Amino acid sequence: MAGVFKNMFGGSQPSDPAKVEDDFADFVKAPEPSPASIVAASPSLAASSTPGVNAVPYTKWYRVWERTSPKDFLQEAMVMPFILIIVIVHLWGTRKNRRKAREWAQAHAPALHSEFAVVGFNGIQKSEDDNSALASPESILKEMTPQEFSSYATGRQNVAFVDVSIKLPKRYNPVTYWMDLVFGFLFESWPTPTESYEAIAYTFDGKEKDVVPVPNKDTSSLKVNNSNYDGFIWAVVHKNYMRQFRQDRYDASMTFTKDNSKLPPWVTVMTESAEITDAMLTAELIQAIEKAGDDFKYLIVTDQPIDKPTKIEETTPRKRVHVCMSLPSSAAGYSSTLPLFSQFLRFADRLVSAAHFRAEVMRKVRHSREEELKKLRRADEEEKAEERKLAAEKIKKEERERILRGMTADEQRKFLDRERERDQKRSMKRYNKRG
């Protein structure tokens, strides 16, 4: 007892240190590791190192040539030639398409500038003594895609504006380009890649006051030329494209085809009246078509949509002139197609002066349009009747469900039995009438 009190209140002899039991050995803190000396680990570095300078350890991570070999890049070496070929073909195709578009712009820029006040998309009117725009074909072109370029011109009597679309093959995509070439050769329905351009001239048709902006909004003092002319469909088409032309265009399907002795034998006329052909064909136009040769595709004057209308609103007349020609293989070949392009730019003047026909001719033209309108009205009435029928059936169904919800189970059974009996009687009556 004396020893216990002596230990509690402090004795002269220190107590023995606590013993670590075997069960708590895992919780004993391990000694902190000390970093190994680089110099001690590498005698060569220790010998070559100088005092006061930190030595860099030797490792293969920084020496790529020691931890790799050419065999490690075998797959990359097999893929890289294909990638390189695709990139080269893409650059070649893109540059060639741009060069073809620039050649077209350089050849047709003088004609556009001579007929229109504004050529290009910048909206700046060219002055008479400014020839810088003529020296820059890019000023009248816009690249929509690597295969499609467009141009624009406005500011001319009888013509609101002209849109030009240049379409080229997909040379920048070798897979698609060669597939189109092979399939176009094997299958007639597959379109073959071609180089062509289409220009559309939208005529004013007496709507200058609605289109031409006036600063003070006072159009009473605006002197406007009478640009009205009768609406009709008339086209001159190369026989190689005649079948596809009639299939692709709704307005062309409304005409009849007839050869004309004044034209070359490889083109034909699509018209609604022979009198229209006599008024539209001029000696200059015939000569320009002959000179264009196989590069000529079609020239059409129309007031109907290209796609078949599905609604009456889509049949609103919009008068315009289309021309489509192939691009020649070289820049020198444009000399044969430029006369026809110039005739196209001035064709609106011919329409305003000569496209006024007798009442019998226009009565025949209007008759074909009225027949198409009757078909659309009939289809529209049938569609509305079907909608009314579906709406009535929906209301009847909702009323039936409302009545059934307010009935008991026995009343619902009797109600359904009566419906079934009525349906059977109706079916028997229809069967007896057929018999």
Average pLDDT in the chain: 81
In a domain, 56, yes or no: no
Helix (H) or strand (E) holding 431: helix 409-434
How many structural domains comprise the chain? Answer: 2
Give the per-residue pLDDT at 129: 52
CA distance 285 to 261: 14
The confidence band for 40, taking pLDDT boundaries of 50, 70 and 90, is very low
Q: Tell me which DSSP letter residue 357 carries.
A: -
Residue at a domain's end among 338, 363, 388: 363
Residue 187 located in a structural domain: yes
pTM of the model: 0.71
Would you say residue 42 has pLDDT above 90? no
Q: What is the mean pLDDT of residues 429-433?
A: 74
Question: Which residues constitute the domain of residue 400?
Answer: 364-434
In a domain, 198, yes or no: yes
Residues 387, 346: one domain? no
Give the tens place of pLDDT for each residue, 22-31: 554 454 555 5
What is the per-residue DSSP string for 293-334?
GGGEEEEEEESS-SSPPSSGGGG----EEEEEEEPPSSGGGH
Asked if 380 and 359 sit in the same domain, the reply is: no
* 424 in the same domain as 291: no
Is 285 in the same domain as 209? yes
Burial 122-137 (b: 16+ CB within 10 A, else e): eeeebeeeeeebbeeb
Average pLDDT over residues 307-334: 88
Query: Is pLDDT at 16 greater than 60 in this prediction?
Result: no
User: Using one digit for the tens of pLDDT, what is the confidence trace for 230-261?
Assistant: 999 999 999 999 988 998 899 998 899 999 99
Asked if residue 301 lies in contact with residue 321, where contact means CB atoms within 8 angstroms, the answer is yes
Same domain, 129 and 171: yes
pLDDT of residue 9: 46
Rounded CA-CA distance 222/286 in Å is 37
Work out the pLDDT band at 5, boundaries 50, 70, 90.
Answer: very low
* Last-in-domain residue among 340, 363, 386: 363
Most confident of 7-21, 51-65, 419-433: 419-433
The residue-averaged pLDDT of 338-355 equals 94
User: Helix/strand/coil (H, E, C) string of 141-160?
Assistant: CEEEECCEEEEEEEEECCEE
Distance of alpha carbon 393 from alpha carbon 85, whole angstroms? 64
The reply to whether 386 falls in a domain is yes
Residues 398 and 326 in one domain: no
Per-residue pLDDT, 217: 52
Whether 231 is covered by a domain: the verdict is yes
Of the listed ranges 8-12, 81-85, 123-127, 292-296, the least confidently predicted one is 8-12
Q: Is residue 59 one of the residues assigned to a domain? A: no
Assess if residue 199 is contained within a domain. Answer: yes
Residue 423 is assigned to a structural domain of this protein: yes
Residue count of the chain, please give it.
435
pLDDT the model gives residue 220: 52
Highest mean pLDDT among 74-83, 173-182, 202-211, 295-304: 295-304
Percent of the chain residues topping a pLDDT of 70: 78
Domain co-membership, 382 together with 328 = no
Output the pLDDT for position 263: 93
Judge if 189 and 81 occupy the same domain: yes
Query: What would the mean pLDDT of 306-314 be, rounded to a whole number?
Result: 84
The tens digit of pLDDT for each residue in 91-115 reads 999 999 999 999 999 999 999 999 9
* Whole-number Å distance between alpha carbons of 85 and 216: 60
Confidence of residue 178 (pLDDT cuts 50, 70, 90): confident
Q: What pLDDT is stored for residue 332 in this prediction?
A: 86
Residue holding tokens 């995509």?
173
Instruction: Assess contact for 250 and 307: CB atoms under 8 A.
Output: yes
Residue 203, pLDDT > 90, answer yes
The rounded distance, in Å, linking the Cα atoms of 181 and 176 is 9
Of the three residues 337, 363, 389, the one that is the final residue of a domain is 363
**Claim to verify: residue 292 and residue 227 sit in the same structural domain:** yes
Judge if 369 and 359 occupy the same domain. Answer: no
Q: Please tell me which of 105-114, 120-129, 169-178, 379-388 the model is most confident about, judged by mean pLDDT.
A: 105-114
Structure tokens at 292: 């264009």
- Residues 96, 234, single domain; the answer is yes
Q: Report the alpha-carbon distance of residue 408 to residue 404 in Å, rounded.
A: 8
SS3 281: coil
Give residue 430's pLDDT: 75
User: What is the dihedral sign for C-alpha 34, 38, 39, 44?
Assistant: positive
Mean pLDDT of 158-166: 93
Its sign, for the CA torsion 287, 292, 297, 300, is negative
How far, rounded to the nearest angstrom, does the alpha carbon of residue 349 sit from its chain's CA centroid? 33
Element (H, E) at 409: helix 409-434
Q: Which residue has the higher pLDDT, 228 or 432?
A: 228
